[in-house]
Structure 1
Amino acid sequence: MHIKTLAVAVLLSVMPMAHACINTVGTDHQGRRFSPDDYVGKDLVDGFTKPHAQRYWLKQASYVIKQARNKPDFKNLTDLGIVLVYQGQYDLAVRHFLKLERLFPGHHETAANLGTALELAGHDAVALKWIGIGIQRNRQEHFGSEWLHARILETKIALARDPRYLEGRSITGVVFERTLVPALPIAMPPGNDGRPVKPWELNSALAYQLHERTGFVRPTDPIVANLLLDWATLNLAGGPIETADVLYDFAVTYGAERDALMRNRQSYIQRVLAQAGKAKANGGECGICPPMPPPPPPPPKQSRA
């Protein structure tokens, strides 16, 4: 679920994003320490349990309504639709975004917001069509994560037909070995552009989608639980195991079963963390962190007169 324009600014202010100025240290599954440039463990999950965006938009409602009346341009009318969503007026938000599409056709923001409003109003099949339109309009929609929103909607539609649909299935489409510490999956799902996503892109998509979804969907929920399980195991395989541990707990909060494999994995994590202590970064690897951007080119040499 995603709300665009100013909502992105709010989200960026509260959501962990890669390569931010964050001085954290995590531990890989071999006990080596590394700097993921992201929130780790409990600090990460805390950002999911505090509805910053909702508080912001409800507080700004009067101002947004006034701006939309005084200057009904695309930005102000989009913001008005966002307020309607956070107020829980989903049917009204759907009608508003449909009107916005007629007034200002072709914007990817409208397609994504309309898809969200339709889903919240209970129209998953139509929502899926609009999410697809948003992806067609902008392959980078929501940091390239809308492919996962589409998968979520497909799952909701399938669950309506078969309540047991999710048994043994992963919404993300990845398969982890059922071992104590699995390797990162080799086969990855296609992203917005149809190409297989990389592990760090899967991690980013799960972070973005779950941050939005947990703001609207309260425990328990099988879809959120399924996503959290995959995200936890992804972090165990290639990220900070501190994060894997709290995400397993978060998944249980949303209804996942704490089976023997999860208990063994969390026990293993605690043993590794106890041995690693609080050392500084010492050569650990992060298989799900974004690649560092290339260094800037050297300045041109000054010619001598």
Structure 2
Amino acid sequence: MKKYFFSLIFAIIFSVPAAACLNGETLKLENGITLYEDYDGFIPYGHSFWGDQELKEILLSLDKDYKETKKIEYLSDKGLILIILGKYQEAIDLYKGIEKLHPNRYSTASNIGTAYELIGNNTEALKWIKKGVQLNPSSHFGSEWIHVNILKAKIKGEKYITSQFLLEKDFGKDKIPKSDMDRRSLYDFRASLYYQLNERISFVQPKDKIIAHLLFDLGNVSYLYRDKEDAMEDYKLAKKYGFNDPILDERMKLYSPKVIDNVERKVIREVKYQIKPTRRSQLMGMIISVFALIFSGLIVFTFRKKIFTMLK
């Protein structure tokens, strides 16, 4: 009896779900390999991909899987790995072959467009990205209209690198950014802009005028959303990417962080960007964990006399 009783207690206590770090956007390949897994939050640091050696091994694995199954998804994933490795023309040729075999796949159009943009052929990139939007208007959380505008600005010239042209919004030139968007609209707009920047920063290193301008506007949206700490990080990234308008310095002065040491700052950032925003399923897991612990405590309390007797 003693053995089974304690087994029950320990089973309840140690079966409580572990609360791991909460993560953001994830991309899993057809073969089950996770290509990247981002933190939650709205500061676009880009994806952390595997190293070149690991990516080459993944390529071999995808080749093998495709030969065995003939599933086009393996071939499409191979093209994505080629893009990450910087083999843009090889990826374009591969995707054009996929287009002939299986026309009008969204991922084909989107990835060809991305590869063309990365080799500097913005006209072809725009054609394929537009096709991708037609095939799947809600792709990338409905943010691909920003990608279309970016490509148009690249084709038209630098004078089109403005908030109004790229985002069809303007946050003013005053010290404090302004907008007539409500809080829900700000959240959706911020999410779309973050997504586009996070993808772009994964491939484009500083300095870049379009990314710099979009980062500045992401900071403006974050400020309007009353997330001043995120706004400051976005502004810092904008400066890193080459945004040099004096208004940036003015808006960076809007945030005055409390004085904390580097260790505390690191801990705060780790906590913040791993738990925001909390997903419903993960929140439920945490609630279940708490209730399981409470239930375990009640069992111990209820049978405390028997437990103490057994321990004697």
TM range, smaller chain? 0.5 to 0.7
| Structure 1 contact 10–53 (Cα < 8 Å) conserved | no
Tell me, yes or no, if structure 1 residue 51 matches structure 2 residue 48: yes
Which residue in the other structure is 1:191 paired with?
Answer: none
Tell me, yes or no, if structure 1 residue 82 matches structure 2 residue 80: yes
Which residue in the other structure is 2:161 paired with?
Answer: 166
Q: Percent identity?
A: 29
| Structure 2 contact 27–37 (Cα < 8 Å) conserved | no
RMSD: 3.4
Q: Which has the higher helix share?
A: 2
| Structure 2 contact 72–98 (Cα < 8 Å) conserved | yes
Q: Report which of the two structures shows the higher radius of gyration computed on alpha carbons.
A: 2
Q: In 2, distance between residues paired with 1:51 and 1:123?
A: 26
Deviations 1:240-261 (A, max 9, x none): 11011011110111111151x3
Give secondary structure in 2 for the equivalent of 1:76. helix
Which residue in the other structure is 2:205 paired with?
Answer: 218
Which residue in the other structure is 2:94 paired with?
Answer: 96
The match for 2:240 among 244, 253, 277 is 253
Deviations 1:259-302 (A, max 9, x none): 1x3223222211xx439xx9xxxxxxxxxx99x99xxxxxxxxx
What is the aligned length? 239
The match for 1:112 among 89, 110, 113 is 110
With the length of structure 2 as denominator, give the TM-score of the two structures.
Answer: 0.66
| Structure 2 contact 66–72 (Cα < 8 Å) conserved | no
Deviations 1:215-259 (A, max 9, x none): 111111101101101101111111411011011110111111151
| Structure 2 contact 109–128 (Cα < 8 Å) conserved | yes
Which residue in the other structure is 1:31 paired with?
Answer: none
CA positional deviation for 1:4? 7.8
Which residue in the other structure is 2:272 paired with?
Answer: none
The match for 1:263 among 234, 249, 264 is 249
Q: Which runs of 5+ in 1 are unaligned?
A: 17-37, 188-196, 279-288, 294-305
The alpha-carbon distance between structure 1 residues 67 and 147, as it changes in their structure 2 partners (threshold 3 A), is same
Q: Which runs of 5+ in 2 are unaligned?
A: 1-25, 265-275, 281-312
The match for 2:176 among 177, 181, 199 is 181
| Structure 2 contact 79–94 (Cα < 8 Å) conserved | yes
Matches within 5 A, 1:231-246: 231-246=218-233
Larger RCO of the pair (alpha carbons < 8 Å, separation 6+): 1
| Structure 1 contact 236–244 (Cα < 8 Å) conserved | yes
- The residue identity in structure 2 corresponding to 1:150 is V
The alpha-carbon distance between structure 1 residues 53 and 184, as it changes in their structure 2 partners (threshold 3 A), is farther
Q: In 2, distance between residues paired with 1:185 and 1:253?
A: 29
The match for 1:230 among 177, 196, 217 is 217
CA positional deviation for 1:176? 0.7
Give secondary structure in 2 for the equivalent of 1:52. coil
The match for 1:274 among 235, 258, 263 is 258
Q: In 1, distance between residues paired with 2:126 and 2:50?
A: 24
- The residue identity in structure 1 corresponding to 2:120 is G
- The residue identity in structure 1 corresponding to 2:249 is R
Q: In 1, distance between residues paired with 2:239 and 2:105?
A: 38
Which residue in the other structure is 2:284 paired with?
Answer: none
| Structure 1 contact 219–254 (Cα < 8 Å) conserved | yes
The alpha-carbon distance between structure 1 residues 15 and 147, as it changes in their structure 2 partners (threshold 3 A), is farther
